[in-house]
Amino acid sequence: MHSKAPLGLKIAAIGGLLFLHVPILLIFVYAFTTEDKSYQWPPPGYTLQWFEVTWNRPDVWQALGLSLRVACVSTVIAIVLGTLCAAAVARSKFFGRETISLLVILPIALPGIITGISLRSAFNIADIPFSTWTIILGHATFCIVVVYNNAVARFRRTSSSLIEASMDLGATYWQTLRFVIMPNMATAILAGGMLAFALSFDEVIVTTFTAGQQQTLPIWMLEELVRPRQRPVTNVVAMVVVLVTFLPILGAYYLTRGTETVAGQGK
Amino acid sequence: MAEAPRSPLSDMLWRRPNLLLLLLVTPPLLWLGIVYLGSLFALLAQSFFSIDEFSGLINYEFTLKTYGELFRASNFDILLRTIAMASAVTVGAAIVAFPIAYYAARYATGKWKAVFYLGVMLPLWSSYLVKVYSWKLILAKEGILNWLFETLHLSWVLDAYLSIPGIGGNSLSVSWTGTFLVFLYVWLPFMILPIQAALERVPPSMLEASGDLGARPGQTLRHVILPLALPGIIAGSIFTFSLTMGDYIIPQIVGTSARMIGQAVYQFQGTAGNIPLAAAFAVVPIVVMGIYLTLAKRAGAFDAL
């Protein structure tokens, strides 16, 4: 177990990690470049002016606002539905249980373009006009699975005898929920919610089909990617997006850290 | 101890667990059933309609004509090209991911374990578009990769590579190699995590036993580690394959003008207004993934997820 790793393996592993991170770090450098017409490397000089330019851009703020609103509402819906589903699947065996877990995973197992085009044709058939709510409808659907995954893992580790003991001692369902189940579940649900937020905040494929004329931040970025008009502003936005999504991911990591090793040592 | 007042509702739920189950499962089921499955069926239904070639209107009569269209040479090429790309990305990702997963599962301890975990999780969850954007910066003519080749006086290697027909092109950003690299980069974490999960379950004693029985490290790798990692590799390949097959943004931003399935779906439902053909195209990944998932399940890949 404690033998040393062969050098080749070490190089391949570290190299792989670098391959995953260097491209993202490059964006941080580009956010400060003075060059605004091309992607010239190395940057001819460094400046902070693009942060000010970006700060004064109403379209960026508008897109950011919409993205945050959509992510918040979708996360709340996903937390409610994902937790309910996890509670049902983890607690009992019933007819169609496998089908439900498959149904929850389907929206991310199938390519996003299929979810997107399905929703769009459904909106067309039902004559629903595009709005913030159509975006939320799509986002909540594929966010459920993230909350579900986190919650179901925790439910499986929470012993059901705890709940029986609580009920035997005379607690009502609500008291059991409030004082026994929730404290056990809270961090898992919160972690799932944070990941759902991150997922919704930068989703683009489904959103292009459900947004109509509105622009979320990823759609704003996509336009810039296809037809670059303001490279420096895009660089700054890209850097901010990376930083904003890192926070919930780190949060989710610290909330669920160590729980894997407590149970499930079934090696 | 005073007995807490019990509400009739609590008693009823306790006596009838099925009622509780029903209450729990109804809201998510309604949502997924109506919003998701409803939409999916709406899409599938459209693929059995056809489009009137003269008026451009949708003809709402059951027909398999639209599926026949898929086998026209230009459309069939799109399918083959997409499946070839998805396979290439899957194989590439497995090769790059394996050493990372193996090192993280077997040799990383303490602080390094956390470094590897976050080192995979952060890129996995960070913005898809930002990741694609970063490669646009890297592959640009004036970008870092060309600069690197020039600084090292190796531009001739790059030029020789780009002149290979099929995978080359005018520059990396408009070649299949470029598209492949971006796909590989974006989906790599999806391959690392399941392989690592599979390898974590291999007891070290099994590897020691293999060595004690006289196997060289290469033999242990081939006959012990790889077979045990296979369910993880298959689980990861579900993601890399499915995600590559349905993507329409990466090939649009980096690569040649030849289309992949995602782009075809996007264009047929958008500018071309041919929703039945777009729907038929969208059914292909569903069918391919259906077959793929059935095979993967048989290989026991779901335990590694």
> What residue in A sits closest to B46 (Cα-Cα)?
A121
Question: Within an 8 Å CB–CB cutoff, is residue B240 touching chain A?
Answer: no
Whether residue B51 is contained in a domain is answered as: no
Contacts 24+ apart (CB under 8 A), A228-233: A231/A36, A231/A37, A231/A38, A231/A39, A232/A31, A232/A33, A232/A36, A232/A50, A232/A53, A232/A54, A233/A50, A233/A53, A233/A54, A233/A57, A233/A60
Chain A hits for B25, Cβ within 8 Å:
84-85, 88, 100
Residues of A with Cβ-Cβ distance to B132 under 8 angstroms: 225
The count of domains in chain A is: 1
Q: Is the peptide bond before A42 cis (omega within 30 degrees of 0)?
A: yes
B297 and B242 within one domain:
yes
- For residue B27, give its domain range: 8-46
Q: Give pLDDT, residue B132.
A: 92
Test B246 with A27 for CB contact under 8 angstroms. no
B133 and B91 in a single domain? The answer is yes
pLDDT tens per residue, chain A (267 residues)?
Answer: 446 778 888 899 999 999 999 999 998 888 888 887 778 878 888 888 888 888 888 888 999 999 999 999 999 999 999 998 888 887 777 777 777 777 887 887 778 888 888 888 888 888 888 889 999 999 999 899 889 888 888 887 777 788 788 888 888 878 888 888 888 888 888 888 988 998 898 888 889 888 888 889 999 989 888 888 888 888 898 898 888 888 888 888 888 776 554 333 332
Based on the domain organization, do B100 and B218 belong to the same domain? Answer: yes
Identify from B58, B129, B192, B249 which residue to disrupt to test chain A contact, counting A C-beta atoms within 10 A and taking the largest count.
Answer: B129
Neighbouring C-alpha atoms within 13 Å toward the C-beta of A43: 17
Residue B32 and residue B151 in one domain: no
Residue B59, helix vs strand vs coil:
strand
pLDDT at A258: 64
B110 lies in the same domain as B145: yes
- By C-alpha distance, the chain A residue nearest B33 is A103
Measure A97 CA to nearest chain B CA, in Å: 10
The pLDDT value given to residue B32: 85
Whether residues B17 and A195 touch (CB distance < 8 A) is answered with: no
- The chain A residue lying nearest B93, using CA atoms, is A16
Complex-level ipTM: 0.81
CA-based nearest residue in chain A for residue B28: A81
Residue type (1 letter), B169: G
Per CB-CB distance under 8 Å, the chain A contacts of B286 are: 110, 114
**Considering only CA atoms, which of B116, B133, B193 is closest in space to residue A17?**
B116
The answer to whether residue A205 sits within a structural domain is yes
Confirm whether A23 is domain-assigned: no
Mutation to test the B interface, candidates A41, A83, A194, most B Cβ within 10 Å? A41
Interface contact B120-A24, CB threshold 8 A: no
* Residues A119, A141: Cα–Cα separation, whole Å: 10
Residues 6+ apart with CB under 8 A from A57: A233
Contact A205 B248 (CB under 8 A): yes
Residue A204: list chain B partners with CB under 8 A.
Answer: 128-129, 249
B134 touches chain A (CB under 8 A): yes
* B242 touches A at CB < 8 Å: yes
Q: Which domain holds residue A166?
A: 70-215+249-256
Shared domain check, B166 and B42:
no
Question: Is B59 inside a domain boundary?
Answer: no
List residues bridging with B59 in a β-sheet. B50
Would an 8 Å CB–CB cutoff place B24 in contact with chain A?
yes
Please list every residue in chain A whose beta carbon sits closer than 8 Å to the beta carbon of residue B228: none
Residue A141 lies in a domain: yes
> Which residue in A33, A115, A118, A267 has the most chain B C-beta atoms within 10 A of its own C-beta, making it the best mutation to test that interface?
A118
Residues B196 and B211: their CA atoms lie apart, in Å, by 22
Residue partners of A131: CB distance under 8 A and separation at least 6:
A212, A214
Instruction: For residue A42, tell me if it sits in a domain.
Output: no
Task: Note the pLDDT of residue A70.
Answer: 95
Query: For A242, which of B7, B130, B269 is closest by C-beta distance?
Result: B130
Do residues A35 and B150 lie in contact, with contact meaning Cβ atoms separated by under 8 Å?
A: no
Please tell me if residue B126 touches chain A, with a CB cutoff of 8 Å. Answer: yes
Nearest CA in chain A to B239: A109
Which domain CATH number covers B202? Answer: 1.10.3720.10
Residues B86 and B147 in one domain: yes
Residue B140 sits at the chain A interface (C-beta within 8 Å): yes
pLDDT at position A253: 83
Task: Give the residue from chain B lying closest to A266, CA to CA.
Answer: B201
**Residue A154 CB neighbours (<10 A):** 22
Q: What pLDDT was estimated at residue A267?
A: 28
Q: Tens-of-pLDDT digits for all 305 residues of chain B?
A: 445 555 667 777 767 777 777 888 888 888 888 888 888 888 888 888 888 777 777 778 788 888 888 888 888 999 999 999 999 999 999 999 999 999 998 888 888 888 888 889 888 888 889 999 999 889 888 888 888 888 898 888 888 888 888 777 778 888 899 999 999 999 999 999 889 988 888 888 888 888 889 888 888 888 888 888 888 898 889 889 988 988 889 998 888 888 899 888 888 887 777 888 888 888 898 888 888 888 887 776 665 55
**Does any domain span residue A230?**
no
User: Over the stretch B228-250, which tens digit does the pLDDT of each residue have?
Assistant: 888 889 888 988 998 898 888 99
Distances (CA, A) of B237 to A137, B122, B243: 29, 20, 10
Query: How big is the CA angle at B138 (ends B134 and B143), to the nearest 5 degrees?
Result: 130
Q: Are residues B225 and B91 in the same domain?
A: yes
Q: Do the domain assignments include residue B61? A: no
Number of domains in chain B: 2
pTM given for the model: 0.85
Does the beta carbon of B6 lie under 8 angstroms from any beta carbon of chain A?
yes
User: Residue A27: which H helix or E strand, with range?
Assistant: helix A7-30
Cβ–Cβ < 8 Å for B134, A31: no
Euclidean distance between CA atoms A3 and A8, whole angstroms: 15
| Cβ A217 vs Cβ A64: under 8 Å | yes
Question: What is the pLDDT, as a whole number, of residue B84?
Answer: 94
Q: Is B29 on the interface with A (CB under 8 A)?
A: yes
Q: What is the CATH number of the domain that holds A176?
A: 1.10.3720.10
Buried b (16+ CB within 10 A) or exposed e, A101-129: bebbbbbbebbbbbbbbbbbbbbeeeeee
Same domain flag for B105 and B165: yes
B149 interaction partners in chain A (CB closer than 8 Å): none
pLDDT of the residue at B89: 96
Q: Quick one: B32 and B149 in the same domain?
A: no
Inside any domain, residue B103: yes
Q: Would A93 be classed as within a structural domain?
A: yes
Q: Is B79 in the same domain as B33?
A: no
Start-to-end C-alpha separation, chain A: 15
Q: Report the pLDDT value the prediction gives residue B7, as an integer from 0 to 100.
A: 66
Closest approach of A82 to chain B, Cα-based (Å): 7
